[in-house]
Structures are given as C-alpha cells and as structure tokens.
Structure 1
Amino acid sequence: MMIVFPTMKEDGLKAKRGAHFGRANFYTLVNVEDGMVKEVSVHKNPGHVTGGCADAVANIQSLGADKLVVSGIGGEPLKKFLAANIDVFFDDKNENLEDSLHDFLAGKTAKIDPNHSCNHKH
C-alpha cells in the first residue's frame, strides 16, 4: 500500500503535515507492506496552477499512491481522487506524519466522508 501525506518539510516520518493537500510543499510517500513501513520518500509538490485540482490529483497519482491522508479537502478534488481509485482518509487530529501513520495503521483513520470536504480552494 502506498500512502501519501501532504507535508511542509522534507522530514520523512517526523514531518509536519500540510493542512491543504494541494498547497503542501511536499508529498511524503510511505510504502507499507504487511503493516510495516518498507520505504519513505519525499517528493516536492510541483503545484497545480494551470490545471487546478486536476493537476494535484495527477501529481499524487503519478507517485503510485492508492491512499491519501488529509486534514481537509474540497468536494471536487475528493471526487477526482475517488475516480482515480485513490482512497482518501480524514485525519484532523495529528499534526505530524508519524502519529498520523500510526493511527492509520491501527485502523483509527476513517475514509473521508463527503461532509468533511471544504468549500474553499485547496
């Protein structure tokens, strides 16, 4: 399973999570197999100026992600991620990636409810 966490710095598992997935400075990709972290890689967010949220979806999809953990997301990008077969999970409690990953792997992070989507741009 390949999980993407929007993050603010290149700090691996210690990174502070980015509040807005499309504007986070980096995407930290965590490869998990059999409940164990196999690899962590950090990728600069190339942005999404020209294509709006479609670019952000394509950027994350290009990393091979099948899961995305966010603290907020707009309705349109949520629909686009789901159409791209990327499950989106909601975590607005954990500020850093390591804690968020721990909760995710423990089954404490739910798939996002469309009611948790934001009305402002990400």
Structure 2
Amino acid sequence: MKIAIATDNGMVAAHFGRCPEYTIVDIEGKKIIKSEVIPNPGHEPGFLPRYLAEREVDCIIAGGMGPRAQGLFAQNNIETVIGVTGKVDNVVSDFINGRLQKGESSCNHGVEGHRSCDH
C-alpha cells in the first residue's frame, strides 16, 4: 500500500492542495518500505488526484479537503482520510497500526471555495 500525506514542515497540512509537499510512504504489512518527500506540483482542480494515482497512491491523508476533491480522488480509486492532525511520523505509525484518528475536515469548501477556510 502507498499513502500520501499532505505535509507542512513535518506535520500534517491543513489542506491537501495547498500544502508545500507530500510525504509518500510505501507500506508492506506493518513495515515502512520507503518514504520520500516530494514538492507539491501545483493545485489545479482535478490535477492532484490524477498525479497521485499515476504514482500508485492508494490513500491520501490530510487535515482538510473539499467534497469535490474527495469525489475526484474516489474516481481515481484513492481513499481519502481527512481531519487528521499531528506529526507525520506519528500519523504513519497510527495508520499502520489501525489507530489513526479521523475527524472533521479543516476546510469547508462550499460555494465560497477557499474563502470559508484560512487557505
């Protein structure tokens, strides 16, 4: 399994599309096989779901994500886990061990778009 975590300075970023980077982690069983940090290639509607699907990502973890983006990830067979906070290393460990705490999205993307959150 491969997960992508929206990352900002070693922490889970509040918004998947506006984060400075992604931490991509390959997991087999309960072991981390590979971990790399890649820069965010840009935030255009529909681009990131395709980009991460091409990188064979199965799941994206972020603090927040709008419903349209969640739908686009679903169309690319990528699970979305939102409302996550904390250090990336702790989040990966919790994910591997089935203890990851999900919550409410830190972004509310209705008709107002990003004006309804602080991004």
Moved more, 59-68 or 102-111: 102-111
CA contact (8 A) 1:4 1:30 kept: yes
Matches of 2:59 and 2:101 in 1, distance apart?
Answer: 12
What is the DSSP-based 3-state SS (H/G/I as helix, E as strand, rest coil) of the residue aligned with 2:12?
A: coil
* 4+ runs deviating over 6 angstroms: none
* 5+ long unaligned stretches in structure 1: 10-14
Q: 1:103 aligns with which of 78, 91, 94?
A: 94
More helix by share: 1
* Structure 2 match to 1:30: 25
Aligned length: 111
**Structure 1 Cα separation of the partners of residues 26 and 80 of structure 2:** 16
> What is residue 108 of structure 2 aligned with on the other side?
118
Unaligned runs of 5+ in 2: none
Equivalent position amino acid for 1:36 in 2? K
Matched residue type, 2:35? V
TM normalised by structure 2 equals 0.80
Rounded Cα–Cα distance in structure 1 between residues aligned with 2:101 and 2:11: 20
- 1:81 pairs with one of 47, 50, 73: 73
Equivalent residue for 2:45, pick from 38, 43, 53? 53
User: What is the CA-CA distance between 1:111 and the residue it aligns to?
Assistant: 7.4
Distance 1:111 1:62, change over 3 A: farther
Does structure 1 residue 71 correspond to structure 2 residue 63?
yes
Measured after TM superposition, the shift of residue 35 of structure 1 is: 1.0
